[in-house]
Structure 1
Amino acid sequence: MKNIVLIGMPSAGKSTVGVIIAKNLGMDFIDTDVLIQTRHGRLLQDILNTQGAGGFLEKEEEAILSLACQNTVIATGGSAVYSEKAMKHLKEDGIVIYLYITMKTVNKRLRNLKTRGVVLSKGQTLEDLYREREPLYEKYADIKLDCSNNSIEDTLEAVHCQLASLS
């Protein structure tokens, strides 16, 4: 089975939904943020604080390009879409699902911005980041699901329905 790649803003539910999808479908699961932390022995926020956004994005691209898996649900970091090379690699063997949420939902869900490891440039607001990333998510998505008002169960059901329609 092809990989299922989840993209979207921080707090869209990529990791939470991804691990349950993997469990329900008997697939492996990889969270690229956890992969980066494990490889470098540091929290994402520590990498951002010491190496900046550019250094972090290099490590993220490296981690994604190193993936050679099948039958795996991959929850990407929200910034994965900044690397065309990484996204091309993920799309080669995967179906990309964009877990879309509104800016209002991001603000409601994202409480720990300073410690979460979100790639923000100096002076950039969360709203700026949202506007910058949204077209990139749209560009790479094979499927877009509006999860703004969804519970985890609703999002899982929507993903399963979309995947079933592809079979």
Structure 2
Amino acid sequence: MTYPSPINVILIGMPGAGKSTVGVQLAKYLGQDFIDTDILIQTQQEKQLQEILDSEGHLALRQIEEETLLGIQSKNSLISTGGSAVYSEKAMHHLKSLGIIVYLEVSLDVLKQRVTDEDSRGIARSKGQTFDDIYQERTPLYKQYADIIYNNNQNIDIAQLITTIEHFATGKER
């Protein structure tokens, strides 16, 4: 696969995996622009994610998310996606064409410690679906689309992650 130059880094993972937190740090170290697709959606829709879920439902939010992801044409950016991005095969293929996809893998136990605002966080899920359910449902999808799987159960080592990304990128056709 040929990547745009300079390359984008795309973070995927569950809510609470650290996509936004790690993304800001990584973007700074890599000299990249930082794009948080949840913030893009909220800006474009002029609503919080939870408001969209409450008024339009989880499928509408996923559709809005897909359209937002398909509209990204950035270069030299760190893109932090919403946790439900992996439900759109079309959007994930688009993101893969833009750069390297890094799955921030975190155990369910650690996620539950981090995510204390589950009911107001704007997590796109079906009625009755628990956090455990979406973890089980999404984990195989994250792994399917990831170029790199990086464990983020503890404080992330940014230098190590950058080295991993650089090794992956240089092993690819440019």
Verify the 8 A CA contact 1:8 1:14 in the aligned structure 2: yes
Instruction: State the match for 2:139 in structure 1.
Output: 134
2:167 alignment partner AA: S
Instruction: State the match for 2:3 in structure 1.
Output: none
CA–CA distance in 2 between the matches of 1:158 and 1:140? 21
Structure 1: which 4+ aligned runs deviate by more than 4 Å?
none
CA–CA distance in 2 between the matches of 1:137 and 1:158? 21
Counterpart among 104, 127, 130 of residue 125 in structure 1? 130
Instruction: State the match for 1:4 in structure 2.
Output: 9
TM-score by length of structure 1 reads 0.95
Instruction: State the match for 1:58 in structure 2.
Output: 63
CA–CA distance in 1 between the matches of 2:46 and 2:27? 25
Percent identity, aligned pairs only, is 48
Matched, 1:151 2:155: yes
Matched residues, number: 164
Verify the 8 A CA contact 2:148 2:165 in the aligned structure 1: no
TM-score by length of structure 2 reads 0.92
In structure 2, runs of 5+ residues without a counterpart are 1-5
Counterpart among 63, 72, 91 of residue 86 in structure 1? 91
Question: 1:116 aligns to what SS in structure 2?
Answer: coil
CA–CA distance in 2 between the matches of 1:161 and 1:50? 43
Counterpart among 68, 71, 91 of residue 73 in structure 2? 68
What is the deviation of 1:158? 3.0
RMSD: 0.9
What is the deviation of 1:157? 2.8
Question: 1:88 aligns to what SS in structure 2?
Answer: helix
In structure 1, runs of 5+ residues without a counterpart are none
- Deviations 1:37-63, CA, capped at 9 Å, x for gaps: 000000000000011011100100010
